[in-house]
Amino acid sequence: MGLLEAIILSVIAASTPLLLAASGELLVERAGVLNLGVEGMMIMGAACGFAAAYLTESTLLGTLAGILAGMLMAAAFAALTLGLAVNQVATGLALTIFGLGLSGLIGAGFVGQKITPAPELFIPVLTDLPFIGRILFGQDAFVYASIVLVAGIWWFLYSTRPGLVLRAIGDNHGSAHALGYPVLWLRTLAVLFGGACAGLAGAYLSLAYTPFFIAGMTAGRGWIALALVVFASWRPGRLAAGAYLFGAVTILQLHAQGAGLGIPPQLMSSLPYLATIIVLVIISRVRGAAGSAAPASLGLAFVPDR
Amino acid sequence: MRLVLEPRAERSVAAAIASPLIAVGLTLLVMSVLFALLGKNPLNALAVYFLHPLTDSYSLQETAVKATPLVMIAIGLSLCYLANVWNIGAEGQFVIGAIAGSYIAVKTQGTDAGAWVLPAMLLLGAVAGALYALLPAIGKVRFGASEILTSLMLVYVADLLLDYLVRGPWRDPHGYNFPTTAEFDPVAIVPTLIEGSRLHIGALIALLVVAIAWTVLGRTIKGFEIRVVGAAPKAARFAGFNSDHLVLLTFAVSGALAGLAGIIEVAGPVGHLQPGFSPGYGFTAIIVAFLGRLNPIGILIAGLFLALTFIGGEQAQISLKVPLDLTKVFQGILLFFVLACDSLILYRIRVLTSRRATDGTA
């Protein structure tokens, strides 16, 4: 396997959890809800997914457990922010703190255990093709799922009626409510979907990417996924591009560390975070002139007048 | 039948005081269930967590030692949150303050530098914390970049910088390759209040910060501006308050307090700079700020309470063999309940039967 092929494969692997989690959050934010708890839902997906996969010896059941864990976390978020109109920023933070703690508690017994990593696709002739074979036809199911997911969200938002309603709710919940759309119910569904995606992203980390569990293994990926949504101006196409760009930065800094250029490894490790900050500033600056692309009702509590 | 929220006509003081207490009560209830699930006697476990630390003087002092950074950071954060801007990177500002202050301690090590060392360290720590917090604040007011994400990203950067310094240039040459600086010289150590105890003058500084914050928020125009900008941005604009200046100001003050807390922690209870010297004080302080209902006196009480959970958590780990992560779970649940109960100050929940619901919409 050539170096370039290896790099592309590892970029795809590093980008997939970001794309999975960010796709879900994009839909949530398009509905006007800002869930900052992605990191917490993701690490819970990683812990519960690994625990279930270890106990049942099934990657599929592990994945489902990860998705379910993310959804349960999201349900708590929905109950507070949508049911009780609690501040979304603070609740998202609480979700992350809670998730980091509970995942450590659940995963404690599984640290150091091994599972069989999620299998990779193998199609006799196609996967054997030079260079593109492994890249296009030799990935695990998560990678294909992430691409289907982001394409599906793009189709849903721009080509279906429920997608249009969802965007309307995110842009002006008052008007949407006046037109008779069930704002809080649709938002609840969106939040649960976002939780499922974050849980799936976490399950990918512990079932395919590593595959093992350690406390705090998401290492800020949930936060980077949130930044990607802003980077993408809340558009699915740009989100995919951003996720792969970001995966590339992550992998390139790893290779640069390995190459021993005399640069402190900590500086290289901080590149993804610094890149996020710089990109956020530049994107916000550029967009400042053209007006914000954020859904107008993003992060605002909605209490319907009966 | 369905449940709806209905805004309360007026907010009662009683509800404002009762809400954090109800939240604590509900959290303890959930924790009891968790303990039972872990196979521990809930009452016994709660006693280890919350009562035993109060029974001996060492633990009591240790509670004050741990409450010191929590209260200082939370006071700063409460200013941001009152102004409705979200500094969630206090942990990074805490670490940067510790690093900057330690610079003087490391560079004067073994020289006969005088009594100026410690004051200079504290000053540099506060300034560095403020500058570090200004990065996301400037990103927000100049470029419109979300301060939530940038301030959080800077936490990771600060942690990596700390790791680099103590493994590289600042590593103790006689430290058997452990990633830590040498123990600070006595002139670079925060003096203790009582001989032989770990309680240090940082606790007094924290009390002073509480008093100042209480005065500023309750008695000055600046405090009023902060609250108006947060609660009623339109009214603030009509009144001519400059919200950009307030974003910069609240971030700088909260960064300075976090940085000061950081260098006090390193030059006080810890005594040297090492990775992981903070058990997440910067994040726990967010909970302290909300549990204290963004009120300086409330924050003081909440800070002591959460400090107790750190100590109780350590003791429970030893005597009950429960994981240390249980403390984080506790803190997360507590924040959930605090936020939920706060909402009940603003709204009441009404149960609507379907018939009345239709009447309501008609």
Assess whether pLDDT exceeds 70 at residue B356: no
The tokens for B319 are 């005597």
The answer to whether A276 and A222 are in contact (CB under 8 A) is: no
Same domain, B352 and B300: no
Q: Which residue of B5, B99, B147, B320 to mutate against A (max A Cβ within 10 Å)?
A: B5
Q: Does B139 sit within 8 Å of A281, measured CB to CB?
A: yes
B90-124: per-residue pLDDT in tens? 999 999 999 999 999 999 888 877 889 999 999 99
Output A285 or A224, whichever has higher pLDDT. Answer: A224
Domains in chain B, number: 2
Assess whether pLDDT exceeds 60 at residue B362: no
Same domain, B137 and B203: yes
Same domain, B219 and B247: yes
Q: What is the complex's ipTM, to 2 decimals?
A: 0.86
Cβ contacts from A onto B, under 8 A: 153
Q: Which of A94, A85, A44, A103 is nearest to B336 (CA)?
A: A94
Same domain, B213 and B355: no
CATH number for position B251: 1.10.3470
In this complex, the residue of B5, B153, B339 whose CB is nearest that of residue A273 is B153
Span of A59-73, A132-146, B128-142, B299-313 with lowest mean pLDDT: A132-146
A18-71: per-residue pLDDT in tens? 999 999 999 999 999 999 999 999 999 999 999 999 999 888 999 999 999 999
**Residue B199 belongs to a domain:** yes
Confidence of residue A75 (pLDDT cuts 50, 70, 90): very high
DSSP string, B119-144: HHHHHHHHHHHHHHHHHHHHHHHHH-
The residues spanned by each domain of chain A are 3-225
What element of type H or E holds B164? helix B147-167
What element of type H or E holds B14? helix B13-37
* Section B148-174 average pLDDT: 91
**Rounded CA separation A87/B84 (Å):** 11
Q: Which residue of A86, A224, A285, A300 to mutate against B (max B Cβ within 10 Å)?
A: A86
Same domain, B219 and B297: yes
A164-212: per-residue pLDDT in tens? 999 999 999 988 998 989 999 999 999 999 999 999 999 999 998 888 8
Residue B30 sits at the chain A interface (C-beta within 8 Å): no
Assess whether pLDDT exceeds 80 at residue A138: no
Same domain, B30 and B154: no
> B151-168 burial, b if ≥16 CB within 10 A, otherwise e?
bbbbbbbbbbbbbbbbbe
Q: Does A108 sit within 8 Å of B361, measured CB to CB?
A: no
Residue B357 sits at the chain A interface (C-beta within 8 Å): yes
Same domain, B285 and B163: yes
Query: Hey, what amino acid is at B243?
Result: S
CA atoms within 13 A on the CB side of B108: 20
β-bridge mates for residue B349, sequence order: B5
Same domain, B352 and B263: no
**Residue B22 belongs to a domain:** yes
What element of type H or E holds B349? strand B347-352
The tokens for B347 are 């709204």
**Rounded CA separation A34/A89 (Å):** 7
In chain B, residues with a C-beta closer than 8 Å to the C-beta of A83 are: 3
User: How far apart, in Å, are the Cα atoms of A262 and each of A9, A257, A258, A265, B258?
Assistant: 26, 8, 10, 8, 33
B217-233: per-residue pLDDT in tens? 888 888 888 888 888 88
The answer to whether B169 and A266 are in contact (CB under 8 A) is: no
B19-39: per-residue pLDDT in tens? 888 999 999 999 999 889 888
Q: Which of residues 240-279 of B touch A (CB under 8 A)?
A: none
In this complex, the residue of B149, B328, B339 whose CB is nearest that of residue A87 is B339
Same domain, B283 and B361: no
Assess whether pLDDT exceeds 60 at residue B357: no
Distance from CA of A126 to the nearest CA of B (A): 41
**Residue B45 belongs to a domain:** no
Q: Which residue of B27, B37, B325, B348 to mutate against A (max A Cβ within 10 Å)?
A: B325
Same domain, B311 and B358: no
* Section A72-78 average pLDDT: 96
The secondary structure of chain A, three-state, reads CCHHHHHHHHHHHHHHHHHHHHHHHHHHHHCCCCCCCHHHHHHHHHHHHHHHHHHHCCHHHHHHHHHHHHHHHHHHHHHHHHHCCCCHHHHHHHHHHHHHHHHHHHHHHHCCCCCCCCCECCCHHHHHCCCHHHHHHCCEHHHHHHHHHHHHHHHHHHHCHHHHHHHHHHHCHHHHHHCCCCHHHHHHHHHHHHHHHHHHHHHHHHHHHCCCCCCCCCCCHHHHHHHHHHHCCCCHHHHHHHHHHHHHHHHHHHHHHHHCCCCCHHHHHCHHHHHHHHHHHHHHHHHHHHCCCCCCCCCCCCCCCC
Structural Rg of chain B based on CA atoms: 22
In this complex, the residue of B146, B156, B357 whose CB is nearest that of residue A230 is B146
Range of the domain at B280: 50-321
In chain B, residues with a C-beta closer than 8 Å to the C-beta of A86 are: 339-340, 342-343
CA dihedral B153, B137, A92, B237 (to 10 degrees): -170
Same domain, B337 and B305: no
* Section A226-248 average pLDDT: 90
In this complex, the residue of B148, B150, B336 whose CB is nearest that of residue A76 is B336
Q: Does A284 sit within 8 Å of B144, measured CB to CB?
A: yes
Assess whether pLDDT exceeds 70 at residue A92: yes
Q: Which of A77, A107, A116, A281 is nearest to A211 (CA)?
A: A116
